[in-house]
Structure 1
Amino acid sequence: MEQVRPAQIRNVALLGHPKSGKTTLVEAVLHTAGLVSRAGRVEDGNTVSDYTPEEHEHGYSVTTSVVTLDWDGHRLHLLDTPGFPDFEGEAVSAAAAVEAGVVLVDAVAGIEGGVEAACEHLDRAGVPSRFFVVSRLDREHADFGRVVAALQARFGEHTVPIALPAAGASGLGGVIDLVAVDPAHEDERAHDARDALIEAVAESDDALLERYLEGEEIDTPTLRAALATAVASGAVVPVLPLCATGGIGVRELVDALVAYAPPPTVTEDGPALARVFRTTADPYVGHLSFVKVLGGYVTHGDQLANPERHAEERAAHLFLLRGKEQIEVPALTAGSIGAIPRLAHTHTGDVLAAPGSTPPAIESLPFPVPTYRSALAPHSRDDVDRMSQGLARLLEQDRTLRVERDADTGETVLLSLGDVHAGIAVARLAREFGVSVDVSEPRVPYRETVSTTVQAEHRHKKQTGGRGQFGHVVIRVEPLPRGAGFEFAEEVVGGAVPRQFIPAVQHGIEEALVAGPLARARLVDLRVVLTDGSSHPVDSSEMAFKTAAAMALHEAVLQAHPVLLEPVMRLTVEVPSERLGDLTGEISGRRGQVLGVEPAGAETVVNALAPLAEVQRLAPQVRAIAHGRGRLEVAFDHYAEVPPAVQQQVVAALAPAH
């Protein structure tokens, strides 16, 4: 493919609700452009942009695919993003790499949660230019006018059609271009819609508004130029009809992207500058970094500095992408989207620059925080070492995954955006790194404590011939405030316990703290005071006093009304305001406590506390309540007593494991 100038480039993200037709649209564009002889079908697993085994298995996109094509002297980089909320990070990174977004809206379902989420991604990425495409118009009950009215009600009157569906003999027959429509066109709807379009464009152009108000006819070239300016600033959001499976509206949409979507604002002169917005493992070339060139040129063989990693990389090969097809090129020009293989130190979100240059500060990608918890255990001994290595590689590629090692339970915990996201990560571990793992819900790191002061003693005496064992301790156990931990003190008088054995008593107690009597959980928030005891001049030893101390603590805790403590998490949840009641009900049903509610535009932010046991896998429920738009953050807050009824259930459930 020939090199192009930035003014000829259009970088466009395809966004929308799951199953709204994004991948089908890409197939229709490629077929219309003559790049495939027959459009593939998602159902058949033969599309250009859904090519991974996981996508073939599930029947929907799970990664962002870049499809590059030339059209009418311009180069389009189409980024086909997943609509499923578990892969929101893919949409976030794609939105940060483009200058325009195409948001597909189902002609029957109308505005769904994925449509709202897509607009939020574009807003956060600072991309005002977007197009709404009313898709799947060939289905029963499809209604272009109803969807347009809903879009205008939700997003404003500046959301206007620039094309209308035309009726045919057996349904949808074509598309009427409102920008170039003939004034003599017989469809009265077209005249009214063109007037609405001109009025919307004129609102952002004073000179055009004056001409419009004076009744002057606005010619097509003038309207085209003014519309491009208005779309670039977000003053006008075009709406177009589409039936991708029938090829209707496809050419008109791509023509509109070329005519009205803004080119990248980049500098051709100057040092090379690029950002990695996605990383993947390719079976043939290995590590593959998707880059957007923000300035200058990246040419074959260039050395590039990674200031974040304090490392240098070499661009040994440069590719343009069309799904899994890699088209090698000598250079990536300013504004282009392409890929560089085998970058050893570079991760998603990193910036690459010419050595010696000072790259500008670039805002980090606003990835969502993973909260869905899954415990991973290597399936076999061979998987133990490979698991940590495979997880490290996955985290380099997917910034919406996180791994923690729970010190209390000893489990490796994978945090993801949902159950499907976790399942895909596990599948990739097996496919890309040969690691098999068993997946379960993580154990809750409970702790135990005492609720009253008691005194206990234990006499450890053992005689087996020869020197025996003798240690006798009397201790007092007292509860401490939450979070105080453990304290040890001694009040021994008269040398009842020889001084040299007191450290052994403390060590014995500390070792016994690791497993309480209820759930074998760590004992915390208590003070143990050694008050008395006795010894034997021959048989006493450190080991004997350690054993006596441990047994005394066990007996004391059983008498001190032990209680189970559970981690309580602080929740920050953002949902549409109309879903607030459902959310607060969900939190209350999970033994949660709502602390406060704050309005945030059309959204509401809820701050709450809830036990970890109840919210380890809350994320999918939040998204369901919010129709795909909810955002959840979870952070540890404190430990609190488990209610008695719940404690009985927990202890009974844990008993078989112990």
Structure 2
Amino acid sequence: MSEKTGTRPGAAGRAPAAGHPTALRNVVLVGHSGSGKTTLVEALALASGAVNRAGRVEDGGSLSDYDEIEHRRQRSVQLSLVPVEWEGAKINVLDTPGYADFVGELRAGLRAADAALFVVSAADGVAGATRTIWDECAAVGMPRALVITHLEAARADFDGMTELCRDAFGGEDPDAVLPLYLPLYGTPGADGHAPVHGLIGLLTQRVFDYSSGERTEREPTADELPVIAEARGRLIEGIIAESEDETLMDRYLGGEEIDVKTLIGDLETAVARGTFHPVLAAAPAPEGARQGLGTVELLDLITRGFPTPAEREAPGVTGTDGSPRPPLTCDPAGPLAAEVVKTSSDPYVGRISLVRVFSGTLRPDETVHVSGHGLEDRGHEDHDVDERVGALSTPFGKQQRPLSQAVAGDLACVAKLTRAETGDTLSAKDAPLLMAPWAMPDPQLPVAIQAHSKADEDKLSHGLARLVAEDPTMRLEHHPHTRQVVLWCLGEAHADVALERLRARYGVQVDTVTHMVSLRETFAGMAPGRGRHVKQSGGHGQFAICEIEVEPLPGGAGIEFADKVVGGAVPRQFIPSVEKGIRAQAALGVAAGYPLTDVRVTLLDGKAHSVDSSDAAFQTAGALALRDAAAQARIDLLEPVAEVAVLIPDEFVGPVMSDLSGRRGRVVGTEQSGADRTLVRAEVPETEIGRYAVDLRSLSHGTGQFSRTYLRHEPMPPQLSGKLREQAENGA
């Protein structure tokens, strides 16, 4: 794609107007951890002149890994934006974490981008989770290309990896995934590994040599021409198959030489439309060099093949009341509609919101309307307020470079939006809008925490509120029965980073404690109980006697109270007191300290004293009667059971079903979901799936996902309930 064409609006070869959507490209990098995404971003920045040869920005700081947590962990844990310029176009490169625990950051990047670049390591292969994301992009028609990295590795195999990518991503049309360039290998070293020092352009039949550290162009040698022929024919057929000109294939098969400019134009159109997915290659720049192998070719593909924001359909919008609104267009003069795709905190600036503008123009110091995002169940309240926009900037490493405005299609950082959270919509205050939310994974790993000290306890609530405001994939729960504060996370690494941020950013130290499942107690059979509370201590005494009968009820019935007292044995005014005492004791439990449920308590008889009986005395007598009945009956512990829906590739169905059975689960059905995925439904006790988010990832090689819904409480096996009773007695 080294020859310039102008087949599409904003394509290279026709310089787009600066500050216009046609001059913008938004591309997200997708790939597993260690595939080389961050290194590739730095290589693109170096090739475009955005950083110097040492990989430093103007203030001397590093372009990547500037976050302290990322630096310590040697792993990307958050979405980052790196803008570069190439041939008159501004490219917003969104680097995403590759680890599954931070898939929320990846989904935010997908929302903000108009095309995806899948990064695959030539040494490691294609991860199952990467295939899942590819399918999600395909479902929404997002244009995609692939870049194979780590070609310098000893075990790298470009041809073999290309075939793997065709199998993994080609689906029913593997010829829609083909390389645009072939690696040019040098002389093998002592270890037998031949270094890659150039690329052979299949369409132009030109060689781009990077061996000197600078990209040079030459004609192929006689030895290189046969290497080109077969791959070039395959590529041309793949491009022609996607061409809008239906005569091209017949002309090509008839022996006509198709003009290279025509092929490049059709290639760009097919890439932008999302029907053809070119494969490119990349390798780091040698020490002191400015251009890494494949970086120029990749920048050309992004600017000329990937769509402009104006070519992509914007998310749907409604009024804040749900009323319909016309579809958005990527017009700087249109109504303002922007979305917060990431929220972070800076110790000096405060809250910073990364915003994608879909329509209109966002300017500093103007008042906008912030509309909520419907994630109240995760601790994110709905918003419907006006806020003043602070300074606009674009990030570059630790720097924030000021912007005068952000037009439709662009991304910008907005300072001091104190109420806006990730997923919120920014719109004109006199014409508020609400964007349809993007899909967010549901956190399934519970982490119970408590303040480390009294000083931390005072700051905990504020720190947690700010933490969940930044991350919509995290859910905060204050459990009413266990009285635990629980952070629901996507995995262990997600939880570790959250707690580290809580400590480092907000000065709150917490300890993790064992997550408690909300157990219940119930009577296994009918039992009588007598409560006698009689005290005489000189002066006014206490006198209350009541007799009850307790019987079990079906699951979900709760606690029922019935009055069958005759003859006024318990005065009318004290019957509510007995019920109050019974319910208070039921909430505390009667065996192992868990709330009592699913019983009917019937008040049968009792005695009162004309002077010494009181509300407090009969409350105490009611509680004593319930405890007495419990001592004469078998008490069952009830555990919560969830309906678990596990979506996995077909190859993992057997291991997953076996694992669920080992967790005392009951598989209730399976159903096909797509071409090669199965949905397994099972009923599993909550006590057995506390770490299922972690275990399923290991079991399915990162390709499985699950959800759970509370079904009911049911009796726990005697051997398990016995252990819990022993623990309760020892603790008492």
TM-score computed with the length of structure 2 as normaliser: 0.85
Match of 1:372 in 2: 445
- Check if 1:587 corresponds to 2:660: yes
**Structure 1 residue 216 displacement after superposition:** 1.8
Taking a change above 3 Å as real, the CA distance of residues 190 and 412 of structure 1, as seen in their structure-2 partners, is same
- Does the 8 Å contact 2:25/2:307 carry over to 1? yes
- Does the 8 Å contact 1:49/1:66 carry over to 2? no
**Structure 1 residue 594 displacement after superposition:** 1.4
| Letter in structure 1 aligned against 2:298 | L
Structure 2 CA distance for aligned equivalents of residues 163 and 588 of structure 1 = 50
- Check if 1:327 corresponds to 2:401: yes
Taking a change above 3 Å as real, the CA distance of residues 472 and 596 of structure 1, as seen in their structure-2 partners, is same
- Once the two structures are superposed, the pairs formed by residues 100-499 of structure 1 within 5 Å of their partners are 100-123=115-138, 126-156=140-170, 157=174, 158-170=176-188, 171-182=195-206, 186-187=223-224, 188-205=226-243, 206-244=246-284, 246=286, 247-265=292-310, 266-308=330-372, 309-357=383-431, 359=433, 362-499=435-572
- Check if 1:607 corresponds to 2:647: no
Match of 1:86 in 2: 101
Structure 1 CA distance for aligned equivalents of residues 333 and 656 of structure 2 = 52
**Structure 1 residue 47 displacement after superposition:** 4.6
Taking a change above 3 Å as real, the CA distance of residues 564 and 198 of structure 1, as seen in their structure-2 partners, is same
| Letter in structure 2 aligned against 1:468 | G
- Check if 1:33 corresponds to 2:48: yes
Structure 2 CA distance for aligned equivalents of residues 195 and 453 of structure 1 = 83
Taking a change above 3 Å as real, the CA distance of residues 71 and 570 of structure 1, as seen in their structure-2 partners, is same
Structure 2 CA distance for aligned equivalents of residues 371 and 377 of structure 1 = 19
- Does the 8 Å contact 1:27/1:47 carry over to 2? no
- Does the 8 Å contact 1:319/1:326 carry over to 2? yes
Taking a change above 3 Å as real, the CA distance of residues 70 and 572 of structure 1, as seen in their structure-2 partners, is same
- Check if 1:640 corresponds to 2:714: yes
Taking a change above 3 Å as real, the CA distance of residues 184 and 462 of structure 1, as seen in their structure-2 partners, is closer
| Letter in structure 2 aligned against 1:155 | F
1:403-441 deviations in Å (ceiling 9; x for gaps): 111111111111111111111111111222222211123
TM-score computed with the length of structure 1 as normaliser: 0.95
Taking a change above 3 Å as real, the CA distance of residues 358 and 504 of structure 1, as seen in their structure-2 partners, is closer
**Residues 24-33 or 400-409, more deviating:** 24-33
**Residues 101-110 or 456-465, more deviating:** 456-465
1:328-376 deviations in Å (ceiling 9; x for gaps): 02111221111111112222112222343465x6331111111110112
Structure 1 CA distance for aligned equivalents of residues 362 and 630 of structure 2 = 68
Taking a change above 3 Å as real, the CA distance of residues 467 and 330 of structure 1, as seen in their structure-2 partners, is closer
- Does the 8 Å contact 2:339/2:424 carry over to 1? yes
Taking a change above 3 Å as real, the CA distance of residues 358 and 210 of structure 1, as seen in their structure-2 partners, is farther
Structure 1 CA distance for aligned equivalents of residues 663 and 678 of structure 2 = 20
- Does the 8 Å contact 1:11/1:264 carry over to 2? yes
Structure 2 CA distance for aligned equivalents of residues 649 and 574 of structure 1 = 34
Q: Aligned to 1:410, what secondary structure does the other structure show?
A: coil
Structure 2 CA distance for aligned equivalents of residues 55 and 392 of structure 1 = 22
**Structure 1 residue 78 displacement after superposition:** 0.5
- Check if 1:11 corresponds to 2:52: no
- Does the 8 Å contact 2:581/2:620 carry over to 1? yes
**Structure 1 residue 518 displacement after superposition:** 2.7
- Does the 8 Å contact 1:95/1:121 carry over to 2? no
| Letter in structure 1 aligned against 2:342 | R
- Does the 8 Å contact 2:577/2:615 carry over to 1? yes
Structure 1 CA distance for aligned equivalents of residues 259 and 389 of structure 2 = 48
Structure 1 CA distance for aligned equivalents of residues 723 and 93 of structure 2 = 53
Structure 2 alignment gaps of length 5 or more: 1-16, 189-194, 207-218, 287-291, 311-329, 373-382
Taking a change above 3 Å as real, the CA distance of residues 377 and 20 of structure 1, as seen in their structure-2 partners, is same
Q: Aligned to 1:636, what secondary structure does the other structure show?
A: strand
1:47-106 deviations in Å (ceiling 9; x for gaps): 523221111121100000000011122111100000111110011011011111111112
Taking a change above 3 Å as real, the CA distance of residues 99 and 542 of structure 1, as seen in their structure-2 partners, is closer
Structure 2 CA distance for aligned equivalents of residues 212 and 313 of structure 1 = 60
Taking a change above 3 Å as real, the CA distance of residues 555 and 151 of structure 1, as seen in their structure-2 partners, is same
Taking a change above 3 Å as real, the CA distance of residues 641 and 273 of structure 1, as seen in their structure-2 partners, is same
1:545-573 deviations in Å (ceiling 9; x for gaps): 32222112101112121010111112122
Match of 2:315 in 1: none
Taking a change above 3 Å as real, the CA distance of residues 654 and 195 of structure 1, as seen in their structure-2 partners, is farther
Structure 1 CA distance for aligned equivalents of residues 20 and 620 of structure 2 = 79
Structure 1 CA distance for aligned equivalents of residues 469 and 197 of structure 2 = 48
- Once the two structures are superposed, the pairs formed by residues 34-113 of structure 1 within 5 Å of their partners are 34-38=49-53, 47-113=62-128
Structure 2 CA distance for aligned equivalents of residues 249 and 469 of structure 1 = 90
**Structure 1 residue 496 displacement after superposition:** 2.5
Structure 1 CA distance for aligned equivalents of residues 93 and 581 of structure 2 = 66
Q: Aligned to 1:523, what secondary structure does the other structure show?
A: coil
- Does the 8 Å contact 1:95/1:127 carry over to 2? no
Structure 2 CA distance for aligned equivalents of residues 35 and 14 of structure 1 = 18
**Structure 1 residue 270 displacement after superposition:** 2.2
Q: Aligned to 2:112, what secondary structure does the other structure show?
A: coil
Match of 2:39 in 1: 24
**Residues 553-562 or 179-188, more deviating:** 179-188
- Does the 8 Å contact 1:86/1:421 carry over to 2? yes
**Structure 1 residue 307 displacement after superposition:** 4.0
- Does the 8 Å contact 2:369/2:432 carry over to 1? no
| Letter in structure 1 aligned against 2:398 | K
**Structure 1 residue 538 displacement after superposition:** 4.0
- Does the 8 Å contact 1:455/1:475 carry over to 2? yes
Taking a change above 3 Å as real, the CA distance of residues 396 and 3 of structure 1, as seen in their structure-2 partners, is farther
- Does the 8 Å contact 1:458/1:549 carry over to 2? yes
Structure 1 CA distance for aligned equivalents of residues 532 and 389 of structure 2 = 73
Runs of 4+ aligned structure 1 residues displaced above 6 Å come to none
Structure 1 CA distance for aligned equivalents of residues 408 and 93 of structure 2 = 17
1:106-152 deviations in Å (ceiling 9; x for gaps): 2122111232133144235x243111111111112211111111121
**Residues 342-351 or 74-83, more deviating:** 342-351
Structure 2 CA distance for aligned equivalents of residues 244 and 105 of structure 1 = 14
**Structure 1 residue 227 displacement after superposition:** 0.4
Taking a change above 3 Å as real, the CA distance of residues 235 and 515 of structure 1, as seen in their structure-2 partners, is same
| Letter in structure 2 aligned against 1:597 | T
Taking a change above 3 Å as real, the CA distance of residues 288 and 363 of structure 1, as seen in their structure-2 partners, is same
Structure 2 CA distance for aligned equivalents of residues 548 and 356 of structure 1 = 63
- Does the 8 Å contact 1:92/1:121 carry over to 2? no
Taking a change above 3 Å as real, the CA distance of residues 245 and 607 of structure 1, as seen in their structure-2 partners, is farther
Structure 1 CA distance for aligned equivalents of residues 576 and 130 of structure 2 = 65
